[in-house]
């Protein structure tokens, strides 16, 4: 039983560069076993932060990437038909609840609202998970914690979290790191020197200035790292940025030209 979540343990420290007091804030929330909500743009480091904290706290991390077709059964479990008849199989949320893992629901607003309602009893003083199909009420392991994330700037009103859900969580705001920190991150994770990494960060900053002016979102830190890795493999900066930044971000020819001008200005 104690080895059930071993596959979800993080063996090596995930590199993370703190931008403020988020590490101490999260550690306090975990010590109090309070659920945590991370809010911020795509690719700004929310998932890496949760991975780092799970490693730091020595807890297994069960990650679920939410999507619009995800059902409650995908989270809590279902009956399956096997050689010896039907048997119950716990879903990822139930495994974390039973055995004391951190369950991370990434982009939780992508899930159907009737699916997310099942977390309510886990996020108050009850700390229980009802398995209606099985007729079981699972009390959360003392080490269990629930973490969710979403991008509030990229959601329609129909996909936003309900207030009744939001108010059950401690919340932490994330954004793209300050330029000097982002340069360090890009250099460390791409293997580039600080000079080229700084150029990529400048390009990323210019692309983010186009948010609301033709772009839904600018280049994320993740995208800058991808560009850096392409450069490390021998591609010129211009080609690497076209492949990793410009083409994924937009199909609009005018916005592509504007992004290419930003690349040329920083090259």
Convert the pLDDT of each residue in 216-225 to its tens digit: 889 999 999 9
Task: Please give the distance of CA 234 from its chain centroid, rounded to a whole number.
Answer: 30
Residue 93, pLDDT above cutoff 90: yes
Residue 104, pLDDT above cutoff 90: yes
Size of the chain in residues: 267
pLDDT single digits (tens) 128-142: 999 999 999 999 999
Residue 152, pLDDT above cutoff 90: no
Taking residues 87-107, report their average pLDDT. 96
pLDDT tier at 232, thresholds 50, 70, 90: very high
Average pLDDT, the chain: 92
Q: What are the phi and psi torsion angles at 24 (to 5°)?
A: -70, -35
pLDDT single digits (tens) 50-71: 999 999 999 999 999 999 888 8
Task: Please give the distance of CA 216 from its chain centroid, rounded to a whole number.
Answer: 18
- Cα–Cα dist 76/129, whole Å: 8
User: 213 or 179: whose pLDDT is higher?
Assistant: 179
For the domain with range 6-173, which CATH number is right: 3.40.50.300, 1.25.40.10, 3.40.50.1220, 3.10.150.10?
Answer: 3.40.50.300
Q: What are the phi and psi torsion angles at 98 (to 5°)?
A: -70, -40
CB of 116 within 8 A of CB of 74?
Answer: no
Taking residues 213-242, report their average pLDDT. 94
pTM, two decimal places: 0.88
pLDDT single digits (tens) 13-22: 999 999 899 9
Taking residues 181-207, report their average pLDDT. 96
CB of 121 within 8 A of CB of 132?
Answer: no
């Amino acid at each position: 039983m104690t080895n059930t979540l071993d596959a979800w343990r993080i063996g090596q420290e995930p590199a993370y560069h703190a931008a403020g007091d988020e590490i101490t804030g999260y550690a306090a929330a975990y010590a109090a076993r309070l659920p945590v909500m991370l809010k911020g743009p795509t690719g700004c480091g929310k998932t890496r932060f949760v991975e780092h904290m799970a490693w730091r706290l020595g807890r297994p991390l069960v990650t679920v990437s939410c999507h619009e077709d995800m059902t409650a059964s995908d989270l809590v479990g279902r009956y399956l038909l096997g050689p010896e008849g039907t048997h119950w199989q716990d879903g990822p949320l139930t495994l974390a609840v039973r055995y004391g893992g951190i369950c991370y629901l990434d982009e939780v607003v992508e899930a159907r609202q009737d699916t997310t309602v099942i977390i309510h009893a886990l996020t108050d003083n009850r700390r229980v998970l009802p398995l209606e199909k099985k007729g079981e009420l699972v009390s959360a392991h003392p080490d269990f914690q629930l973490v969710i994330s979403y991008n509030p700037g990229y959601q329609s009103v129909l996909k936003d979290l309900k207030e009744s859900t939001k108010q059950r969580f401690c919340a932490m705001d994330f954004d793209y790191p300050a330029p000097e920190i982002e340069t360090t991150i890009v250099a460390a994770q791409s293997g580039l020197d600080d000079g080229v990494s700084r150029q990529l960060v400048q390009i990323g900053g210019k692309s983010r200035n186009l948010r609301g002016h033709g772009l839904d979102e600018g280049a994320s830190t993740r995208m800058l790292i991808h560009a850096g890795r392409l450069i490390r493999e021998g591609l010129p900066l211009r080609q690497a940025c076209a492949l990793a930044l410009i083409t994924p971000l937009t199909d609009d020819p005018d916005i592509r030209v504007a992004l290419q001008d930003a690349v040329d200005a920083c090259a």
